């Protein structure tokens, strides 16, 4: 009788092994992770984007998962996030069954799409709440310095919303 390791080796196809990330790839991933953290984007999303960004060609799901050592769920969610925010493109080669991914051609366009989808909605959603907090503080007779801080915060949020269309090109440009 064969030992269990020999039995399973004959039946099961072995998983390909992927080379670990190189120092320059880790450094780029760290950069994207820091930038993503500012926008509240998950680390896994930034790492996937960095790997695609530095790769010479499109990568398939298994390659991304193998190189980054992430769970299937993390890779799936990360690719969905990047696709939904127009940061990556799906590439399907003729005759190939696997979908492969690459970054969109313009990093600036990707950043604009991310700001438009993450930052602007947060500013818009915050506006009524900030106005309510200020009105409540005024009604309660809060200290003048507190009312001044809340007034400045409301003004900053309103100005950010006014300036956004001037700073961000229209969608699709």
32 band by pLDDT with thresholds 50, 70 and 90: very high
Report pTM. Answer: 0.72
pLDDT at 8: 46
Contacts of 31 (CB under 8 A, 6+ apart): 50
Residue 41 clears pLDDT 80, i.e. is over it: yes
Work out the mean pLDDT of the chain and round it to a whole number.
87
DSSP assignment letter at 85: T
pLDDT tens digits along 77-110: 999 999 998 899 999 888 878 899 999 988 888 8
- The per-residue DSSP string of 90-113 comes to EE--TT--S-EEEE-S-HHHHHHH
Radius of gyration of the chain (CA): 23
Residue 9 clears pLDDT 60, i.e. is over it: no
- Domains of the chain, by residue range, sit at 17-104, 108-167
Task: Identify the residue with better confidence: 83 or 5.
Answer: 83
Residue 169 clears pLDDT 80, i.e. is over it: no
For the domain 17-104, what is the CATH code? Answer: 1.10.10.10
């Amino acid at each position: 009788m064969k030992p269990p390791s020999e039995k399973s080796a004959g039946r099961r196809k072995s998983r390909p092994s992927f080379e670990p990330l190189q120092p320059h790839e880790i450094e780029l991933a760290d950069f994207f992770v820091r930038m993503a953290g500012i926008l509240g984007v998950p680390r896994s999303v930034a790492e996937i984007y960095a790997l695609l960004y530095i790769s010479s060609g499109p990568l398939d799901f298994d390659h991304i998962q193998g190189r980054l050592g992430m769970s299937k769920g993390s890779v799936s969610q990360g690719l969905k996030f990047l696709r939904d925010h127009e940061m990556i493109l799906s590439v399907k080669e003729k005759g190939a069954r696997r979908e492969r991914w690459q970054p969109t051609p313009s990093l600036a366009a990707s950043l604009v799409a991310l700001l438009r989808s993450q930052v602007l909605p947060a500013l818009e959603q915050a506006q009524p709440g900030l106005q309510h907090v200020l009105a409540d503080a005024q009604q309660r007779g809060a200290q003048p310095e507190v009312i001044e801080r809340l007034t400045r915060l409301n003004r900053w949020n309103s100005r950010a919303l006014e300036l956004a269309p001037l700073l961000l090109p229209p969608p699709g440009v």
